[in-house]
Amino acid sequence: MRGVGQSPTVLKKEREGDFFMSKYVAEPFRIKMVEPIKMTTGEERLMKIKEADFNLFNLASEDVYIDLLTDSGTGAMSQEQWSAMFLGDEAYAGGRSYRKLIEAGRDVFNYDYIQPVHQGRAGEKILMPLLLKEGKFAVSNMHFDTTRAHVILAGGRPIDNVVPEGKLPNVRSKFKGNMDVERLEELIEEKGDKIGVIIQTITNNSAGGQPVSMKNMAEVYNIAKKYNIPLCIDAARFAENAFFIKRDEEGYRNTSIRDIVKEMFSYGDMFTMSAKKDFNVNMGGMLAIKDDKANSDLVQNIKASCINFEGFYTYGGLSGRELEAMSVGIYQGMEDSYLTYRIGQMEYLAARLDAAGVVYQSPVGGHGVYIDAKAMFPHIPYYEFPAQVLAIELYKEAGIRSCDIGSYMIGNDPDTNEQIESEFEFTRLAVPRQVYTQAHFDVMADALIAIKERASTIERGYKITWQPPILRHFQAKLDKI
């Protein structure tokens, strides 16, 4: 085991029986523009987090040194995307930029109807009330926060159904984001026609950015067909999921990412997508239906809801400039060199944490590293929010903003209003695309190692002093216990 001061490039890490060099993957791009970021002192950060009521969403961005709150819309766009924005057709209806995006979407995903929306949750807001109502259930490999909220707002109830190994951070296993297929059939037999939709989230965000195998997607889709239940793909990180299938699933090593993506989407009836992830744009999303003729009423209802909530359906709440950037990003996000670098960043940070004994959801996922805060603070109970404790400590230690993916985020039971105990207590370090360098990743690792060394001195967690009724983690106010 090396010390923090040793070169990270000499570290070796064991992964499924093989040793490999955990060397930082060089960026497949040059940097043309930089944004200065402010350095703060520990005293300043302590004052700022208190002023923010210990909610990292309340911090001003200029008071954050490394921002890992989300990878959604925070990446650096390419020169081709910036150039395309000058071609934006800002027509209210039937714009050229809209048609360009639809052609690209049909080419990549092979779905008939594609509806642009301003981001993924807009697609959920439109779709979920058309599939769910009071008394209905949505079964997912795991719902993320906005998906869970829109299921509940539509009157339904979410059921998470990830494979058992997905709940064990220390267990190294491929495709820990998979749906538990056996349990899925049991749920369908138990609930009958009360299941309104099955949702496959790729990659599985709440389970640590873990991928879903092609085999699992096919199995779940066949079950959905057997019981005539619509299957919706939550597709925000589809390209990263395809990369894991190519690298780790038997039979796909020599298959292109494009072909893997097309097969993945064949195992769904519809999808919602935040394009702010794998399209690497600052704003945008999609809602799509595979067979528009068989679902003509659904498509008409989607158009009507889009006009009410987002704007006319040929722009979906987006400017022509943003539609153009999406049309370029849809292809660039699937490039092999980019995806190798992207996942390589996560592997590099994970290797440093392995050497220091910091526990995370392993193997590392696609868009971030999920630190096991329960392992870091075993003495802090779930109702004192250990993942939020670690997120706050990271900011105090090094000005790093991260996010709780645990009991604080999951919130209260919508029927009993009691605090739910999450399957995980993760602190998510979600890495923006093409933004941070190796030196920044070393700052992340050093900060986590320092916190681990003093973890036993942090005796208590936080209590909520005010919260909204849903999606509380965005706005809640907390105080130290």
The string of DSSP codes covering 66-110 is EE-S-SSS-SPPPHHHHHHHTT----SSS-HHHHHHHHHHHHHH-
pLDDT of residue 294: 87
- Using CA atoms, how far apart are residues 279 and 267, in angstroms rounded to an integer? 21
Tens-digit pLDDT profile for the chain (481 aa)? Answer: 223 333 333 344 444 444 344 789 999 999 999 999 999 999 999 999 999 999 999 999 999 999 999 999 999 999 999 999 999 999 999 999 999 999 999 999 999 999 999 999 999 999 999 999 999 999 999 998 889 999 999 999 999 999 999 999 989 999 999 999 999 999 999 998 999 999 999 999 988 899 999 999 999 999 999 999 999 999 999 999 999 999 999 999 999 999 999 999 999 999 999 999 999 999 999 999 999 898 999 999 999 999 999 999 999 999 999 999 999 999 999 999 999 999 999 999 999 999 999 999 999 999 999 999 999 999 999 999 999 999 999 999 999 999 999 999 989 888 899 998 998 899 999 999 999 999 999 999 999 999 999 999 999 999 999 999 888 999 999 999 9
Structure tokens at 438: 């190796």
End-to-end CA distance of the chain: 36
pLDDT of residue 187: 96
Structure tokens at 3: 């010390």
Q: Is 481 exposed, middle or buried (0-12, 13-18, 19+ CB in 10 A)?
A: exposed
Look at the block and give the residue holding tokens 């008409």: 300
Residues 423, 405 contacting (CB under 8 angstroms): no
- Using CA atoms, how far apart are residues 157 and 133, in angstroms rounded to an integer? 9
Q: Three-state DSSP class for 284?
A: coil
pLDDT of residue 451: 98
pLDDT of residue 145: 83
Q: Check residue 269 and report its DSSP letter.
A: S
Residues designated catalytic: 92, 144-145, 234, 236, 277, 473
pTM given for the model: 0.92
Q: Is 181 exposed, middle or buried (0-12, 13-18, 19+ CB in 10 A)?
A: middle
pLDDT of residue 1: 26
